[in-house]
Amino acid sequence: MSNWETMSQDELEKQYSPSRWSHRMSPDEVVKSHVTALRAGTENAQRISQTQLNIPYGEGEDEKLDMYMPHNFSPNCPLLIYIHGGYWQFLTLSCTVKEESGFMAASLVPKGVAVVAVDYSIAPKGNMDLMVSQVRASVVSIMQRYPSSELYLCGHSAGAHLVAMVLSADWSKYNVTPDIKGAFLLSGIYDIVPIVSTYVNEPLTMTNEVALRNSPMCLLHQLKGSISTDVVIAVAEHDSPEFRRQSKDYYKSLKSMGLRATFEDVPNTDHFNILEKFVDHDYSLTQLLLKMMGKD
Give residue 5's pLDDT: 85
The count of domains in the chain is: 1
Give residue 85's pLDDT: 93
271 is a catalytic site residue: yes
Give residue 94's pLDDT: 42
CATH number of the domain enclosing 152: 3.40.50.1820
157 is a catalytic site residue: yes
DSSP state of 119: P
- Residue of 239, 240, 247, 270 marked active site: 239
Give residue 91's pLDDT: 57
Give residue 121's pLDDT: 95
Give residue 93's pLDDT: 47
- Residue of 157, 187, 240, 247 marked active site: 157
Low-confidence ranges of the chain (pLDDT < 70): 1-2, 91-96, 225
Give residue 155's pLDDT: 97
How many residues are listed for the chain in this entry? 296
Give which of 110, 200, 104 is closest to 161, Cα–Cα. 200
Give residue 264's pLDDT: 98
71 is a catalytic site residue: no
- Rounded to 5°, the CA angle 290-163-288 comes to 15
Give residue 177's pLDDT: 86
- For residue 177, the enclosing domain spans 4-292
